[in-house]
Structure 1
Amino acid sequence: MDTRPTSESRFVRLTPQGLKTVRRWAVSITIGSFLFGFDTGIISGALLFIRDDFDLSSFEQSSVVSVLLLGAVVGALVSGRIADRYGRRPLLAGLGVLFLLGIVAAAVAGGYWLLMLGRVVMGLAVGGVSATVPTYLGEMAPAQIRGRVLSLNQLLITLGLLTSYLVNWAFAESGNWRAMFWVGGVPSALLVLVCLWLPESPVWQINHGRTDRARRTLDKVTEPGGTDLVVSRFEDTGHGTDRDDGQRGDGAGSGPGGVRALLAPAVRPALLAALILAALQQFSGINTILYYAPTIMGQAGLSASNAIYYSVFIGVINVIVTVVSLGLVDRLGRRPLLLGSLAGMAVSIALLGVAFVADLSPLLMLVFMMLYIVAFGVGMGPVFWVLLGEIFPPAQRAEGSSAGATVNWLSNFVVSLLFLPLISAVGEGPTFWIFAVICVLGVAFVARWVPETRGRHIDEVGEDLHRRWNVRTE
């Protein structure tokens, strides 16, 4: 919590019961994040049995995995406009339906093409929640716990991944890959149900002239006078506001306007910071490390010949370090976690490259790999999604989050596509050194261009962004 008098006096405070209510809303909506992790992870175990049942070629196996990424790009790209037009809650309910349809299609698939269709539909839903959940959390969370609430997004993604690995493990002996998919139908239906009682974002309601409805939501959680303060600040500025702390919108935030609004001078620094961080999260090499983990763990003698066991082990590590980040993000702030994370990633992945070139002990390779995963999980992994829900003015938050999530999924796809050819061209060690250089450049980028958002109003964040990017909005 920010203790500066000038900031504390401007916060709209929540009642103790209101804080509990907001936390329940946050946990409920991050069922979508759980499905993000589950649907991206479940294929790793299921494919071991699908490829034999359907007699899939290497290309078909790769396409079953990667087509979800392409679906996610489309889902992230269109979700911002839909969320601004129809609201966050209806979109999230619709995404729950998409998750369910995709899972059913995959589970009953009798061949390659219906399986592909199911994976595409899952991808649309995954991309949609990756953009919409941070938007909703950023608009519903009070300032004093905003970082922890936004970090729930990453925590539930890692829990979804871990659950998918455990489900794979549970059905591995029987080889029942259809049951692996069917398990995902439970949280999909649950997401639809919770959206029936969750409130719409007051930010969206006020921006669409539904002030009375916003008041009813705010009255449930704010201290006396808090609702009037939020609404009056909205009316004084004439544009979007944050419910959590009454923050006024930026000068360019007078209303949704798609790409044109995102490219306006007042919003452009936030857009650039979000897009570069989105690409950096993927081009720093996280997915390549995960790709090599089974081989390295097998060389280290830790039963990595069983790919499903490896996945469970990595999933547990991801959850643990994300929980650590959850406790630090509102205490230390976003920038220290990002800077420390990227520095740790640079050192550990560079040492992993050395281990490959010098043919060092497989145990050392395992140590360097795990250090990299810990460094990513405590900072770069969750903090990117936190910032995605914080740095945009309220009126452009959904579109901005959509743009950031889209670039993140595109970068994920490009890295997955280029990694093996790069290994073939230059070798494992130099490839990991390239990722280390990108991490170092990331440290420089965050230090110069990314603002701290902990305990700050959007106008303060905007002023910091404009100063860092040397942008004048007058």
Structure 2
Amino acid sequence: MRLYFWATVITLGGFLFGYQTGVVSGALLFVREDFDLGSVAQGAVVSVLLLGAAVGALAAGRLADRLGRRPTMLAIAMIFALGSLLAAFAPDFWLLLAARLILGLAVGASSSLCPVYLSELAPAEIRGRLVTANQVTMTLGILVSYVVDLALSGSGNWRAMFGAGFVVAVLMVLGLFAVPESPAWLAGRGREDRARKVLAGTTDPDTVERTLDDYRKDEQDDSGEQASARELLRSSTVRPIVLVGLVLAALQQFAGINALLYYAPTIMESTGLDASNALIYSIIIGAINLIMTVIATALTDRAGRRTLLLISLSGMLVASVPLGWSFLGLSGQSHSVVALISMLVYIAAFGLGLGPVFWLVNSEIYPPFARAQAAALATMVNWLANFAVNQAFLPLAGLIGQGWTFWVFGAVCLVGLIFVAKYVPETRGRSPQQIEDDLRERVGATT
């Protein structure tokens, strides 16, 4: 029970990640009127969070290695609280922009550190469920943000929309005082007695000693040094492993999921449904994403991570074909039906695998001494790719057409499918050393 309580507290970071990325979609409808914002300013309110997230993701790795996972998570929760208050009480556009930047730092840091923290606390046999639970709470946070936006849309109270995140942030701060430090971090600092005590609360004595032995072996391989991002990329032994994580991070975004979600209300409108309230359609999309992520959580420790990634990318690839075709070769009701079904299948396939499983694999594949920094580097790449896709989608669609743009995303899925099949190892139920050995063999890294 203690482990599940710890996981619940940590995954509040995932909830806030989802809430703060989703809430702006509804709040912006009213912010733009109060502050008289043009299209550029509105785009800045949205995109500044993505840039802040890229910075926060990379910074979190260094801080988590130096200070520990728990103190860094406490700082992240406090930044969430501060950013929520600043956004709620912002008197003008510039302070709101600053608040969104601050929230971006917390979003990026939590997206990087929460999976790592959970991965290091959880026994191997349930690691998939606990780490993927963070993705569930993230999608739940998005869905709740849409519901809050809809509930407050009548009054137009965008300040309350942003401010609601403060309550969750405070709960997270309080809860973290009851969560222990990561045993991997403790063992890496020579505090084996404390690490053993934490592990004893999550697994049996034999597994505790085996886990500590793995930590000792990794510490010997590392010679006690903590690697920076630059050092990781220069290391002949670690670089190939890190590159696998970076490719997965970019792939998750370049597959076009956020661009597709951005365009979803327009596609739904083309089906003949009433598009006067796009928030309702956002709730439907958020619900599908949440349901599929919950299913993925149940399957990660059964079907395996690699299997779910392959199924997910295959489903997204298949769905992209009729989605693009519907814009190029169909019209009228046929276009509407095919586009809508294809879009929903695409989102469902993403939610089953590439969405949640990337974060899980990104918390598992690296050696313990490099895990926080390498995961942070991959998370930064993920947020930068997110920003790039969101900025490029509309110009690309205008240049080559919407149908061809969706086929470009399909081509990315095909490349990703080949990459996962060749280079990504199965991590289900395996120790960090077993995962590392398999991955080194796949990428041809020297030992």
TM-score w.r.t. structure 1 length?
A: 0.91
Instruction: Give the C-alpha shift of residue 262 in structure 1.
Output: 5.0
What is residue 162 of structure 1 aligned with on the other side?
143
On the 8 A contact 1:262/1:400 being kept in 2, the answer is: no
State the one-letter code of the partner of 2:325.
Answer: V
Distance of 1:135 and 1:56 partners within structure 2: 39
Distance of 1:105 and 1:94 partners within structure 2: 16
Bigger drift between 328-337 and 63-72 goes to 328-337
What is residue 258 of structure 1 aligned with on the other side?
228
Which of 170, 179, 182 is equivalent to 1:189?
170
On the 8 A contact 2:119/2:364 being kept in 1, the answer is: yes
SS for the counterpart of 2:267 is helix
On the 8 A contact 1:238/1:254 being kept in 2, the answer is: no
Instruction: Give the C-alpha shift of residue 350 in structure 1.
Output: 2.0
Bigger drift between 208-217 and 123-132 goes to 208-217
Bigger drift between 429-438 and 208-217 goes to 208-217
Alignment pair present for 1:320 and 2:301: no
On the 8 A contact 1:253/1:396 being kept in 2, the answer is: no
Distance of 1:54 and 1:48 partners within structure 2: 11
Alignment pair present for 1:464 and 2:435: no
Instruction: Give the C-alpha shift of residue 191 in structure 1.
Output: 1.1
After TM superposition, the structure 1 = structure 2 runs for residues 267-278 of structure 1, keeping only pairs within 5 Å, are 267-278=238-249
Q: CA RMSD in A?
A: 1.5
Instruction: Give the C-alpha shift of residue 330 in structure 1.
Output: 0.9
SS for the counterpart of 1:357 is helix
Alignment pair present for 1:388 and 2:362: yes
Alignment pair present for 1:89 and 2:35: no
Share of identical aligned residues, percent?
A: 49
Instruction: Give the C-alpha shift of residue 37 in structure 1.
Output: 0.1
1:413-445 CA-partner distances (Å, limit 9, x unpaired): 011111111111111011111111110011100
State the one-letter code of the partner of 1:87.
Answer: G
State the one-letter code of the partner of 2:256.
Answer: G
What is residue 199 of structure 1 aligned with on the other side?
180
Check 1:406–1:238 CA distance in 2 against 1; reply closer, same or farther (3 A cut). Answer: closer
Distance of 2:258 and 2:207 partners within structure 1: 44
Check 1:444–1:229 CA distance in 2 against 1; reply closer, same or farther (3 A cut). Answer: closer
Check 1:353–1:176 CA distance in 2 against 1; reply closer, same or farther (3 A cut). Answer: same
Instruction: Give the C-alpha shift of residue 233 in structure 1.
Output: 5.0
What is residue 45 of structure 1 aligned with on the other side?
26
What is residue 195 of structure 2 aligned with on the other side?
214
Distance of 2:275 and 2:235 partners within structure 1: 51
State the one-letter code of the partner of 2:274.
Answer: S
Distance of 1:311 and 1:280 partners within structure 2: 24
State the one-letter code of the partner of 2:396.
Answer: L
1:355-414 CA-partner distances (Å, limit 9, x unpaired): 001134212211000000000000100010010110001111100110110000000001
State the one-letter code of the partner of 2:141.
Answer: G
After TM superposition, the structure 1 = structure 2 runs for residues 215-364 of structure 1, keeping only pairs within 5 Å, are 215-232=196-213, 234-235=215-216, 237=217, 239=219, 251-252=221-222, 254-259=224-229, 260-261=231-232, 263-360=234-331, 361=334, 362-364=336-338
Bigger drift between 343-352 and 154-163 goes to 343-352
- Gaps of at least 5 residues in structure 1 are 1-19, 241-250
Instruction: Give the C-alpha shift of residue 226 in structure 1.
Output: 4.6
On the 8 A contact 2:218/2:367 being kept in 1, the answer is: no
Instruction: Give the C-alpha shift of residue 304 in structure 1.
Output: 3.0
What is residue 146 of structure 1 aligned with on the other side?
127
Distance of 1:238 and 1:168 partners within structure 2: 47
State the one-letter code of the partner of 1:328.
Answer: L
Alignment pair present for 1:398 and 2:378: no
Distance of 1:402 and 1:430 partners within structure 2: 33
Distance of 1:221 and 1:146 partners within structure 2: 11
State the one-letter code of the partner of 1:239.
Answer: E
Check 1:223–1:462 CA distance in 2 against 1; reply closer, same or farther (3 A cut). Answer: closer
Instruction: Give the C-alpha shift of residue 228 in structure 1.
Output: 4.3
On the 8 A contact 2:85/2:166 being kept in 1, the answer is: yes
On the 8 A contact 1:96/1:192 being kept in 2, the answer is: yes
On the 8 A contact 1:271/1:392 being kept in 2, the answer is: yes
State the one-letter code of the partner of 2:219.
Answer: H
Distance of 2:99 and 2:225 partners within structure 1: 36
On the 8 A contact 1:252/1:267 being kept in 2, the answer is: no
What is residue 400 of structure 2 aligned with on the other side?
426
State the one-letter code of the partner of 2:376.
Answer: S
Instruction: Give the C-alpha shift of residue 261 in structure 1.
Output: 3.8
State the one-letter code of the partner of 2:402.
Answer: E
State the one-letter code of the partner of 1:284.
Answer: A
On the 8 A contact 2:265/2:278 being kept in 1, the answer is: yes
- Gaps of at least 5 residues in structure 2 are none
Distance of 2:277 and 2:214 partners within structure 1: 58
Distance of 2:364 and 2:251 partners within structure 1: 18
Bigger drift between 259-268 and 414-423 goes to 259-268
What is residue 9 of structure 1 aligned with on the other side?
none
Instruction: Give the C-alpha shift of residue 450 in structure 1.
Output: 0.8
Distance of 2:55 and 2:224 partners within structure 1: 27
On the 8 A contact 2:322/2:338 being kept in 1, the answer is: no
On the 8 A contact 1:252/1:265 being kept in 2, the answer is: no
SS for the counterpart of 1:184 is helix
Distance of 2:329 and 2:260 partners within structure 1: 18
Instruction: Give the C-alpha shift of residue 270 in structure 1.
Output: 1.8
TM-score w.r.t. structure 2 length?
A: 0.96
Instruction: Give the C-alpha shift of residue 269 in structure 1.
Output: 2.3
